[in-house]
Amino acid sequence: MVQPFKLKSSRMVLDRRIFRLREDDVENPVSGKSMLASVLESADWCNIIPVTPEGNVVLIRQWRHGTRKVTLEIPGGLVDPGEDPAAAAARELVEETGYQPRRVIPLGTVAPNPAIMSNTTHIFLGLNATVSGATDFDEHEDIDVELRPLADIPALIGRGEIDHCIVISAFFHLAVRAGGQLGVLPSMT
């Protein structure tokens, strides 16, 4: 049976705006050997699949520094300390797109990369999203809004136009709720 590694010590190596790098000195319970494990600590994240009354998904295009390219995604971001994840998802939707959902439904959570990250991503469906006002980008965001039919999502993923793994996992959670059908809304809506 797999057992937890013993934590011998821990120290913060780097502290940045959206993450901290922690180094843990751990001992393997089977071999007894020690190693340094690097862990990225971050606040929890949220994302939301916003669907308009017409059945379009509100998507965003934005630059991503890690891959050095513009990506097609759903809105999302950091959950502020003490903030409810559903409220954070609705806030991020308004800030990034100007759309407001009438109903926010939790779809699930995922661990973005449990090998090296400590946080959770909370996934939501935003129903009957309509334009409610202007966007409110932070100083480092440049976003274009794009509406695509929900039925187009499988092809966008299949062609690699949507390749962000956390976004794909959100659509997977939606498909699970829809009886395994990607690109349709579940009957609970």
Provide the domain limits for residue 29.
6-41
Residues 37 and 61 in one domain: no
For residue 41, pLDDT beyond 90: yes
d(CA 75, CA 138): 13
Banded model confidence at residue 134, pLDDT cuts 50, 70, 90: confident
d(CA 56, CA 69): 24
pTM score:
0.92
pLDDT for res 18: 86
Residues 22 and 92 in one domain: no
pLDDT for res 188: 66
**Per-residue pLDDT averaged across 99-128, rounded?**
97
Residues 16 and 91 in one domain: no
d(CA 185, CA 180): 11
d(CA 80, CA 94): 15
Residue-wise pLDDT tens digits, 143-181: 999 999 999 999 999 999 999 999 999 999 999 999 999
Q: Which two tokens stand for residue 56?
A: 């379009």
Residue 185 lies in a domain: no
pLDDT for res 17: 83
Mean pLDDT of the chain: 95
Residue 78 lies in a domain: yes
Residues 55 and 24 in one domain: no
For residue 105, pLDDT beyond 90: yes
CATH of the domain at 143: 3.90.79.10
Residues 51 and 143 in one domain: yes
Q: Report the phi/psi class of residue 68: left, alpha or beta, with left for phi > 0 and alpha for psi in -120 to 50.
A: left
Residues 158 and 72 in one domain: yes
Residues 126 and 165 in one domain: yes
Residue 186 lies in a domain: no
β-pair type (76-78, 45-50): antiparallel
Residues 100 and 167 in one domain: yes
Q: Looking at the 3D structure of the chain, how many domains does it have?
A: 2
Banded model confidence at residue 55, pLDDT cuts 50, 70, 90: very high
Residues 23 and 66 in one domain: no
Lowest-confidence region among 24-28, 62-66, 83-87: 62-66
pLDDT for res 187: 82
Residues 131 and 84 in one domain: yes
Residues 37 and 50 in one domain: no
